[in-house]
A and B are shown apart, each in its own frame.
Chain A
């Protein structure tokens, strides 16, 4: 009986130990912060349960400090034990960076995320001080949320392609907010985007199309005037080409993928990349940026006309305007092409093989245009030859050391006349064209005459020198003889 009592007592003690140990263990693994905050219906606590960090075993205390294992509020939220409550200002991003900027920590979680996001953010346009002057304009949680953070690839993420327009738009479409930072910056980007080809497809659920971050970057967003910005003039074509030159990626959209290659060989591409002329148009100058879309038939001359205003005006008032509209020919593009616009030479004009006029006008069809094109070409060739002759003569006179600066200055007028003539081609009016060409021919004739005289004068100077030298030599010899005669006389 005694033995039985002892055995029962031992079992009871053993069971008590098991129970205590189990209780103690469960207290250590359960996130006691969540237990309480969830029971209070606290929204952040409920969101945190869906958070990637929760799933990876990161506790509330890892960001907020304190002891998440203790169910005793005094111990769990003890400031002396390191409880900080809600991090403020730059401490928020600093808290994220504690792990996200530490490759060793991130490796522990088998993460492949880059660890320089905060560094990039600081150098970005968003890394500037906010108007309070106490913190940076933007913290990690501004875009990623604080609780309920999910991977970027998760559709629930505010930075997932399907949500990023609204996320960026929450500030950038807010006039009152943006006024404080950049009153000149438009706030209709999201609205324009919705009308763009990208935006329309995006609305249909296509997450492959370009969104804000595709062009502007994410953590490293810079102002468009910043040389390092992905949308800086010289960088924009390659930014667009990331998708548009990728034939595999663009396969389903059935559009060409050689625009970038063509552009780099075009007059605009050469001006931008080789001559470093940032006034040259890039993709967005013709297609728009946030509202990017291929220009329609009617808008092509308007798009080109934003820079080539004279040409566009002349074309619009020319007989070609009506004819092109009737045949639904894209205006400028019909003769000049689109992405691969080469330097417009005089070869485009006329009726020979390389000329674009002969595509529609022949001796048997549309004969009036044929004659006009033929005459225009003849006139511009004449002006070109006259200008070349004038340049050669001025060069020859200069080479001969003649003062020819006035004629040289007039060469600019001659060249200007030729440029004007080439612009006047777009009027397709032979009379107007002839007037401009004649002005150029008069100028070149003046230059040729002045330079010709200078060249003649060069030879005249040499003949003059020859005669002068001859006279001086005769004088020298005569003088020498006189001296000899005098000295002979003196000796005798």
Chain B
């Protein structure tokens, strides 16, 4: 479903601040696979997700969705296939618009906006049904301003919004990192539910080793813009968090101590 061939991304090319964020990623994710992506800060995890989404230009290699080469297709042209949830709960929704307006926007994802009314009773019914899955009482607050909701509530709505339109690829960029543990667990639960129900192809970036092993069927580790290991099947089910941490230490070089607190969170 998603194929990257020798994918390279370089920021500030030719300048003293040049940064090779991705240095040739070869990756094939079959349809319906749920891949978790880990790696230290600056390893290129988010860059990989942004490249797949089309947010940043690629400096080399190709990206394909199925047989379709999307390397030069801008982000807006990929939204028929790709849905996303961001790390920042404020990034995925418009705070100054109501819950139903936000959902109506997501409902129109992938189609050109036209001059029919964005909201009607049929849509409101669909939105209410979807919101009631969250058990947060939001189904009765359709006309509340998004900015009045808590971060967890907003992130929950973002997740529902990502799943409103049929899409095949879901990109989750540390989408539970900014939430308290209880809300994070709730959001992860709903994510897993939606992913299973819609049989989505998923890439989830996470800083939590526990999450990386508990969810999905494959784990990638990135380091300095390269995939340093690719864990799946039998192998993966035998892995423990401590094994991952060892791999991490190895990837970073034996002389470098594991000093990143974030990596240990949730382990």
A and B physically associate: no
Residues on B lying within 8 angstroms of A by beta carbon are: none
Show the binding face of A for B, using Cβ within 8 Å: none
